[in-house]
Every structure is written in structure tokens, then in C-alpha cells.
Chains A and B, each alone.
Chain A
Amino acid sequence: MSFERIKEKLNILADAAKYDVSCSSSGSKRSNPNKQLGDSSGMGICHSYTEDGRCVSLLKILLTNYCIFDCAYCVTRKSNDIKRAAFKIEEVVDLTINFYRRNYIEGLFLSSGIFKSADYTMERLVAVAKKLRLEEGFNGYIHLKSIPGASDELMREAGLYADRLSVNIEIPTKSGLKLLAPDKKREDFIKPMIKVKNEIIQYKEEKRLIKSTPKYAPAGQSTQMIIGATGESDKDIMYASNYFYKSFNLKRVYYSGYVPISYDTRLPQIGSAVPMLRENRLYQTDWLLRFYGFDIREILNDYHPNLDVDIDPKLSWALRNLDVFPIDVNKADKRWLARIPGVGLKSVNKIIGARRFRKLNWEHLKAIGIAYNRAKYFITCDSRDFERRDLTAEQIKNFILKQSMSKYKGVYNNQLSLFN
């Protein structure tokens, strides 16, 4: 293969793919029993990080950036004057295998502009995955984009070779979609999602009866929404997200702060800041819903349609519900421990492990790793020393902000280590 030509294509087609933020390579449970290449039964690994701090775990490229559509928010849109390129199927396979063998990546994330038709495009994506699995004996991770409007038959085949499938909703509200991508219909996005969801359920059931049933998209489905392109509220985004999680059993919803790429007046202008902090708050909310047992209505509702920017959503919720605090860490059950600001799930488990041996005091809790300066307003423990003043929500917030100011200023981590 000609390296120079490949390099050029890679530049164009990686560049166009980078706005998709999904990097997950976990949850597939695909092992390597026959001494072939690759294993994706583990946790998923970030082999590197981009300079903006995002995980690099997959070779993330478009098969081509030729596209017949003209979605305003997308760099690949038909009317955009950019260099176009297309990979051959073997080229993608070759790159994937060679990167994988050198331990650069966990696998491939292949998306594409839509050329000719949805099915024509989807067919080619499937062909890459099929070749990797059947001809190269590749057990690494494969994430394929489901092309909106692709036929059920192709989606069924896609799931046999891919670990994960995703369709990006991109625009959280119907009205926004109409404005920015008038040729696209919401139903076209949803159709492949329904198909994949049903296949996953069916294959799981069959697997229960017949052990040799092949895997079908073992790492499930995900989607992505662009944040801040259409003036939607946080409530709009998270209610849409909640709907997708529930209706299609999604594994993940990604939130991608809109990066201005066009002078189209329907969109934020080039040079406006990427809403990274907002994005982070949405991820935190997502986490609270999926792992901390919160209900979406507790966090966002008509009275409170947007997340606070200066504090995280868990603290924000606690401050609005001071009447349930303080919580006794030596007695409270897991669900309540998880609601204490400054106590992450790891600490919750450690507290539960440790308190079987003795009542915990502040020293124990600090050693366990709770964020003391945040949590202390919300808990009591085996100590006579606790917050006795009757502080208002506003006062607590100010104390906490003062404490954490210097520490968090400027570090917006979208990989979510922020709860503590």
C-alpha cells in the first residue's frame, strides 16, 4: 500500500470523525479462545489521550466524507468546501490490524458520510467488520455507526460482527432537527435503533436456550447529542436522553459540546466557546441517573430547567433538599450514602465495608477518601464534632465554593472525576 496516499486519507477521514466523542471500548466480553488476534473481554483501555484530554482507544475514522446530505452542524455536509476522500475496505482492515498489533488501539470505530444511499453505505461498513472478523480472525473491538434509514436486514448483519452500534441523534429536540437538518427525519434515526434493540433481546433469549448462538452487538447501542447548537435547555437534553436510555436500552448517551464549524447563521458562530463545563454537568447528571439512583425529575424540572454551572448537580440537589440531611453514615443505607455530596460510589462501598467492624469517625472517613470539606455539612458520624450551625443552602454553597475554588478552577474534566 502507498503510505503517502494512506496518510493523506487518514488525515482527512480522522479529522472528520473526531467530533464523535464516543471512545468506549468496554462491555463487549469478546474473548480469544482460538489463539487469534485480540481480546476485548476486559475493561477497555485508553491507549492515549488527545491534547484536549479525551481518551483515544479506537481508530476512529470515516469510511468516506462524501455525503449527499447537508446537515448544518456537520463538517461533512455536502455544501461545505473541504477535501474529500474515501478509504477502500482493505485499507481500513489493514490499518486496524497493524495499529492493533502494535497496541495502539482497542479496535475500530467506523462511521461514514452517506454516499449514494443509506443501504449502500451501511453495506460497506458491514463489509469492513465482516472481513476483520472472518478473514483476519480479529477479536478486538468494533463500533459501527448505524446509518439512519438503513434496512433491517443490514442492521441485523451489522450486529453479528460489531460490538457496538450507534446512531447519533445529534439534535435533542424535534424543532431543532427541522431547523438544521430539514432532509432528515427523526424516524430514520429511530428505525435502526429499534431493530438493533429487538435483535439484542432476541439473541439473548436464544442464547439462553442454545449456547452456540453467536453474539449480537454485545456492547449494546449508544447515541450522541450535540449540546448548545440550538438553544435547548438542559432539561430538554436530559429528558431526551432519559427517553433514549429507557426506550432503546442504550448503554450510553454522549453529550458533545458544539464546536463551531460554520458561518451558518442558524448556529453559534465560529470562535464562540465550546460549552465544556455544561457538557461536564450533563455527564454528571447522566451518572447520577444511571448509577446513583436519582430520578431525572429530582434534578431537572420546570422550576429548575437548567443545571447550575458553579456547582455539580448532586450538590445542587442536596442544597435544595436540606431537610433530608444530615445523614448518619453509620446507619444510612447505600442509596442514601450515595446521595451525600462529596461521597462517590467507591467511598460508599468502602464505608459499608468498614462500618461492619466499628463505628466510623471523621478520621476513618477521611482515610477512606471522602471529600471532607464538601461532605461535612451533610453527615454525622461517630464523633460529637459536627456542623451545628443552622446554615442556609446559600451559606453552605459559599463555604464549599470558597474551599474548592483554587482546586478546580480551569480544570473541566469530561471523563468525570469531579464528584469528590
Chain B
Amino acid sequence: MKKILIYDGTFDGFLTTVFQVFEEQLKDVEIVKPKHYQPNIFIEAETIITDSKKAKRVWKALQVKVTKSGAHKLYASFLSEIKGVENALLRYIVYAYCSESFIHTDYSNKDVLRVAQVSKMVFRERHRMEAFVRFQLTKDGIYFANIEPDFNVLPLLLKHFKSRYADQRWMIYDKKRGYGMYYDLNVVQYIDLELTDAFDGSKKGLEKVFTSEEFQFQSLWKNYFDSTNIKSRKNMKLHKRHVPTRYWKYLSEKQPEL
């Protein structure tokens, strides 16, 4: 009989749900977030309470069953937040457990291929964010950047930025999801907060928040960017494929001269 499992949307919540599926040996399930749940009197539903111990056990086991990089791909696919991706992940995990050998390279299985494809998209966006984050120096000495990624890639950025900018305080803020990552020269913390418009890049009140030197460096950078062009080679189609227009908003080299 089919059963719907409602979880809180966190990765730990998802892993707890997987735990439950295995424990109760459920065959026909659908995993949903509360906001996607549509009550249906014919289908039993249960709300899963996130349990970090159970989550940890599943996570550890996965590292062995599908290798570390396989598990990392599962996590990345989860962060895609694509509707229903949890179910492809669950089928993948079940398939992995039912098989004697490693299956994470079995691309003829549709869920394995799906995870490979989705995680690839997520990793691509992570890579783009590593490239396109533009820090602006605030008067409090914090290098601040806004992002609005399609997928929830902020957690995947932590390691990269922490090792690169170890001697400066920085914050990357996901405007779409309303949370940020702040490094205080020691540790990185996630923080939920609402920012004033002055951080918004909407140009109003920017000079209250950021140093005047900041604007000069932005203008130097834009200048540099403009002078690297070779006009006789111009190819905007290729340019936009590399730097999709939806990311331009936060690239200082793409702003009109102030």
C-alpha cells in the first residue's frame, strides 16, 4: 500500500526518512516537503521527525555503499531542490542496497543517471558561484556578496571560500532563500537574517554601507574588463553562454559606469 512521508525539507530530515523506509521495509512511498503535500484520504501519510542520529547512520552507510563521491552527488542532487528529486534519490539508495556491487556508475539505470545529471547541474552552479561571487568591502571591514543561485548551493561553497579568504572577514548572502554564511576569521556560521536595501545592490544608500575605496576598485575592475576585449573577435552568443544574463546583476564588470 502506498504511503506518503512528509519531512521537514532538510537533508537530515531526508536521511531520517530513508532510515524509516528501510526499517519498516516500505515498498511504495512518496517523500514530500510539507509545502508540496496534498492531503488525500485514500493514501496514508506520516510526518517524519528529523533525527540526526539516524541521519548520521544512513549517511555513514552511504559513503561505503556508493563511495564518498557517490554520496556527495546524492547530497548535491538533494540541494537542487527540484520537486520530487527525493524520490529519485530514494530509489537510487534502495537500488544500491539491493545490489552486491557498486552501482554508482551504472548509467543505464535511470535513477543513477538522473543523480549524475542533476548533481552535474548543481556542481556547475556551484562552480559558477565560486567564479561570480563579487565581494564588496563594507565600512565594518566585511567583504560582502549577494547571490541568487537557482539551486541551494551555499553549503557547497563553504570550503572553497574558507580556505581562500582565510585572513579576511566575509559574508555570502543567498537573497532568494534568506540566509547567509559568515566567516569571522575563525569559523563559518550560517545566519538567517533580513538585510536592509542598502545591501541590495539597488544602488540606493550603498555609500552608507560600503567604503568609498570600494567603488573605486569596482570601477578599476570594470575598466580592466572593458580593456581586455579584442573587438575583432567579439562573439556575444558565446559570451552569454559562459556568463548567463541572469547572473549579470551582481557582476560589477557588467554594471553601467557609476
- Residue with the highest number of chain B CB atoms closer than 10 Å, among A53, A55, A59, A259: A53
With a CB–CB cut-off of 8 A, which chain B residues contact A10? 220, 223-224, 227
Known A103-B145, A354-B105: A50·B230 in contact at CB below 8 Å:
yes
Interface centre among A102, A259, A358 (most CB of B within 10 A): A102
- A274 and B217 in contact (CB under 8 A), knowing A47-B131, A103-B134, A364-B108? no
CB-contact partner of A101 in B107, B135, B216, B251, under 8 A: B135
CB distance from B79 to the nearest CB of A (A): 20
Using A39-B164, A367-B113 as known contacts, say yes or no to A50 and B228 having CB atoms under 8 A apart.
Answer: yes
Complex CA gap A35/B166 in Å reads: 5
CB pair A137 B167 closer than 8 Å: yes
CB nearest neighbor in A for B116: A350
In the complex formed, the residue of B with least CB distance to A46 is B131
* CB 8 Å contact bits of A30-50 with B (1 = contact, 0 = none): 011001111101100111111
Q: Which of B95-138 contact A (CB under 8 A)?
A: 103, 105-109, 113, 127, 130-137
CB within 8 A of A39: which of B127, B163, B225, B236? B163
Distance in Å from the Cβ of B133 to the closest Cβ of chain A?
Answer: 5
CA distance A257 to B232 in the complex (A): 11
Q: Which chain A residues border B223 with CB–CB below 8 Å?
A: 7, 10-11
For residue B246, CB closer than 8 A to chain A, the reply is no
Surface stretch bound by A, among B18-26, B83-91, B237-245: B237-245
Contact A37 B165 (CB under 8 A): yes
Residues of B with C-beta under 8 A to A7: 219-220, 223
In-complex Cβ contact of B238 among A14, A36, A53, A101 (8 A) = A53
Residues of chain A touching chain B, judged by Cβ–Cβ distance below 8 Å, are 3, 6-7, 10-11, 14-15, 18-19, 31-32, 35-39, 41-42, 45-56, 59-60, 95, 98-99, 101-104, 137, 257, 259-260, 273-274, 276, 350, 353-354, 356-358, 360, 364, 367-368, 410-413, 415
- Smallest CB separation, A270 vs chain B (Å): 9
Q: Is the CB of A367 within 8 A of B242?
A: no
Residues of A close to B103: CB separation below 8 A: 357
Shortest A377–chain B CB gap in Å is 23
Chain A residue at minimum C-beta to C-beta distance from B108:
A364
Interchain CA distance A358-B108 in the complex, whole Å? 8
Q: Are B108 and A367 in contact (CB under 8 A)?
A: yes
The chain A residue with its CB closest to the CB of B233 is: A52
A153 to chain B, nearest CB (A): 32
Chain A residues lying within 8 Å of B221, measured Cβ to Cβ, are 99, 102, 104
28 pairs across A/B with beta carbons < 8 Å? A3-B219, A11-B223, A18-B227, A32-B163, A35-B166, A35-B167, A35-B185, A45-B130, A47-B131, A48-B243, A49-B239, A50-B225, A51-B236, A52-B234, A53-B235, A54-B233, A56-B225, A59-B224, A95-B220, A99-B224, A101-B168, A102-B134, A103-B133, A103-B135, A104-B221, A104-B252, A259-B230, A357-B106
List 8 additional A-B contacts (Cβ < 8 Å) besides A10-B227, A101-B135, A368-B107. A48-B225, A52-B230, A99-B217, A101-B165, A103-B145, A259-B233, A276-B233, A357-B106
The answer to the question of B36 belonging to the interface, with a C-beta cut-off of 8 Å to chain A, is no
Q: Are A357 and B228 in touch, CB under 8 angstroms? A: no
Q: How far is the CA of A415 from the CA of B135 in the complex (A)?
A: 27
Identify the interface centre among A31, A41, A42, A260: most chain B CB within 10 Å of its CB.
Answer: A42
**Bound: A410/B127 CA distance, A:** 27
